[in-house]
Structure 1
Amino acid sequence: MSATFRTGLVVGKFSPLHLGHEQVIRTALGQCQRLLLLCWSLPELPGCDAERRERWLRLRFPGVQAEVVTPARIQAWREQGKSLPDLPHNDAPEFEPRQFVAEFCQAVFGTTVDAVFTSESYGDGFAEHLADVFGHPVRHVCVDQQRLAVPVSGTRLRADPHGLRGFLAPEVHADFVERIVFLGGESTGKSSLAIALAEALDAPCVAEFGREHWVAKDGALEYDDLLHIGRTQMAREDRAAFEAARYLVCDTSALTTLFYSHAMFGRAEAELATLADRPYTHSFLCADDFPFVQDGTRQDETFRRRQQAWYQAELQRRGWPYQVLTGPLDARVQQVLAHLRDASPG
């Protein structure tokens, strides 16, 4: 079946990209030889920065040409000789975004379009403006303007991404999952605490892959193993986030792997250092007020104190907020739950 249109266009904030947006995009894909996606938000909206929106579009619509525009990217295109107006504010009069889209299509996409797909009442006027600038007809295709198929809005989703997660693809909702990470030296109760907290929250728990790999290799880790551990830990975490309702409990992070790389080999791969930069919604440092227990995989009390001091210094250097957990296991679980209650917007 031949396509109805040569080139189609979908424009949106996609903050966040939800199933209503996806319905419009998939409708356009079915009717166009070529589809262009154009996205911007000025200012950017909570939880929906440009990097995330770009990733969502790439994951959900691989192969579709999409541009997520920011003021910095406008400046970069200008330095390449492309003539572009300033990025319109979200509250700008309707002429400004319409004219911006027309000029952007010609300057960056290098083409005009003959159809625009929206679920909004402004679509007819938008198409007429593009037609005036392009000098040829542009058709507006309206998709589910009454929101009957996907009854949701970006505003509602930003306010309650977990309660309304059924309107988000798993790849999108995963970025709203609150990731909880436990750090601490050897024998500070991280693993037991992670399991207990995950049970209390009915949340997935990502175990420490480094310990599994150490056991599998009978303790004979090589330098390259550390990057493998870091990559695997982060990949497991990302997969688990797809299944999480709100919280994801992480026994450790690549920051731990970075420490061991330096402690064991005096160096670390740049990629591992980048993985260790991943921020978490809630970070907890387990105090070393437990008696040190040698389980056959650990070093000694002196090493634990060294590791604990490194975590404290590193968290402070990075400016990451964290809470120190003290006392027995049950007390630590209650400290975390209290922190989560205090941090909840509800």
Structure 2
Amino acid sequence: MRQRFACGLVVGKFAPLHLGHEWLIRQAQMQCQHLVLLSWSNPELPGCAPQRRASWLQARFPHLRSWVVTADWVDEQRARGVALAELPHESAPAAAQRQFVADFCLAVLGRPVDAVFTSEAYGDGFAAHLARCFGRPVQHVEIDRARVTVPVSGTRLRADVHGLREYLAPQVYADFVERIALLGGESTGKSSLGLALAEALGTRHAAEYGRELWEQQGGVLGYDDLLRIGRTQVARERELAGHCQRYLVCDTTPLTTLFYCRELFGRAEAELEQLARRHYHHVFLCADDFPFVQDGTRQDETFRRRQNQWYEQALQQRGLAFTRLTGSLAQRVEQVLQVLADA
């Protein structure tokens, strides 16, 4: 398709950025030499904070100029003398919202746009207002207002993000997945629990990368390996999260890696210390309340007890809530499911 416009604009809340938005943006891309994406939401909507929306746009459209503006950002620009009005509230008249976009184009982009792309009934009036402000024509290009190609809306997704997750790219849906962290000393049934939980929840399981690397390297880990383990574990979680169903079961966390790093080497990199503070939505500590099983790679029951005590102290020091799991594998699964149901 021939590029009809020098500069086009797509404005939206992108809360969340869904495949309908993406289809509209790609249709606009094909018709513009340059395309600008502008997003704001005032008030902000649950689960769709500005940082998230910015990361979604960057992940899905890395080659486009995208702006996610907030009231604070606008205030900073105004303090620097940039000719912008305050960020319009959702309830503000359409003229005020359109004027904000016109001012943004002239004061921030430094140029008018030639076209606006929408799937909305207001598109013609929006383009006409911009044209009056710019003193030149602005074309409205309407794309699938009936939402036939991608039959979804941000409102529907916010009401049922997990039920409608097929309308979100994995990088977007990942931010709505709740990570379940399993901690526990050696021979506390953590790995078996992780697999059983993933099956019970119909979702995915992030296996313990540290164990895999330890086996690959013949039971030998160097100091630098521990930071590599922490980084890789987090990357694995990020990759898997977008392909889950509501929950991701994490067999371990960087807190475990920090324990072993201090245990083996008496120190840890600052980055690993920071990774060990990674947020998990639900944290479970597997109790050492059944006989220790030696598989030829573990230390002993005394070490297991000390390890569990360290986890408990570390979680308390960080002010992190956790649930201690006891009993058989089936009992532990039921305990987790009850916590999730009550959350």
What does 1:1-16 correspond to in 2, within 5 Å? 2-16=2-16
Cα distance change, pair 195–48 in 1 and its aligned pair in 2 (3 A): same
Cα distance change, pair 54–299 in 1 and its aligned pair in 2 (3 A): same
> Secondary structure of the equivalent of 1:243?
coil
Match of 1:54 in 2: 54
* Per-residue Cα deviation, 1:272-305 (whole angstroms, up to 9, x for no partner): 2333333222221112222333333333334333
Match of 2:227 in 1: 227
| Equivalent pair of 2:88/2:97 in contact (CA under 8 Å) | yes
Residue identity opposite 2:182 in structure 1? F
Residue identity opposite 1:281 in structure 2? H
Match of 1:166 in 2: 166
Match of 2:251 in 1: 251
What does 1:103-252 correspond to in 2, within 5 Å? 103-252=103-252
Match of 1:295 in 2: 295
State the 1:80 CA deviation: 4.9
Match of 1:77 in 2: 77
Match of 1:286 in 2: 286
Cα distance change, pair 10–207 in 1 and its aligned pair in 2 (3 A): same
State the 1:81 CA deviation: 4.5
| Equivalent pair of 2:2/2:30 in contact (CA under 8 Å) | no
Residue identity opposite 1:95 in structure 2? A
Residue identity opposite 1:340 in structure 2? L
| Equivalent pair of 2:253/2:276 in contact (CA under 8 Å) | yes
Cα distance change, pair 80–223 in 1 and its aligned pair in 2 (3 A): farther
Match of 2:41 in 1: 41
State the 1:79 CA deviation: 5.3
In structure 2, stretches of 5+ residues that fail to align are none
Match of 2:96 in 1: 96
Cα distance change, pair 265–108 in 1 and its aligned pair in 2 (3 A): farther
> Secondary structure of the equivalent of 2:308?
helix
* Per-residue Cα deviation, 1:113-168 (whole angstroms, up to 9, x for no partner): 11111111111111122112222111111111111222211111111112111211
With 234-243 and 5-14 compared, the bigger mean Cα shift is at 234-243
Residue identity opposite 1:113 in structure 2? V
Residue identity opposite 2:4 in structure 1? T
1 CA distance for matches of 2:260 and 2:91?
50
With 312-321 and 195-204 compared, the bigger mean Cα shift is at 312-321
1:337 and 2:342 correspond: no
Cα distance change, pair 81–214 in 1 and its aligned pair in 2 (3 A): farther
> Secondary structure of the equivalent of 2:242?
helix
How well do the aligned residues superpose, as a CA RMSD in angstroms?
1.9
State the 1:63 CA deviation: 0.5
Residue identity opposite 1:226 in structure 2? L
Q: Tell me which stretches of 4 or more aligned residues in structure 1 moved more than 6 Å.
A: none
| Equivalent pair of 2:204/2:244 in contact (CA under 8 Å) | yes
> Secondary structure of the equivalent of 1:59?
helix
> Secondary structure of the equivalent of 1:152?
coil
2 CA distance for matches of 1:72 and 1:266?
44
2 CA distance for matches of 1:282 and 1:52?
21
Match of 1:30 in 2: 30
* Per-residue Cα deviation, 1:222-266 (whole angstroms, up to 9, x for no partner): 111011111211222222223212222110111211222223223
What's the TM-score, normalizing by structure 1? 0.93
What's the TM-score, normalizing by structure 2? 0.93
Cα distance change, pair 337–92 in 1 and its aligned pair in 2 (3 A): same
2 CA distance for matches of 1:13 and 1:145?
16
With 157-166 and 306-315 compared, the bigger mean Cα shift is at 306-315
2 CA distance for matches of 1:261 and 1:81?
51
State the 1:75 CA deviation: 3.8
Corresponding residue pairs, total: 343
Match of 1:324 in 2: 324
> Secondary structure of the equivalent of 2:336?
helix
Residue identity opposite 2:29 in structure 1? L
| Equivalent pair of 2:292/2:301 in contact (CA under 8 Å) | yes
Residue identity opposite 1:93 in structure 2? P
With 182-191 and 299-308 compared, the bigger mean Cα shift is at 299-308
Cα distance change, pair 274–67 in 1 and its aligned pair in 2 (3 A): farther
Match of 1:268 in 2: 268
2 CA distance for matches of 1:96 and 1:318?
46
1 CA distance for matches of 2:109 and 2:84?
12
Cα distance change, pair 76–319 in 1 and its aligned pair in 2 (3 A): farther
State the 1:269 CA deviation: 2.3
Residue identity opposite 1:178 in structure 2? E
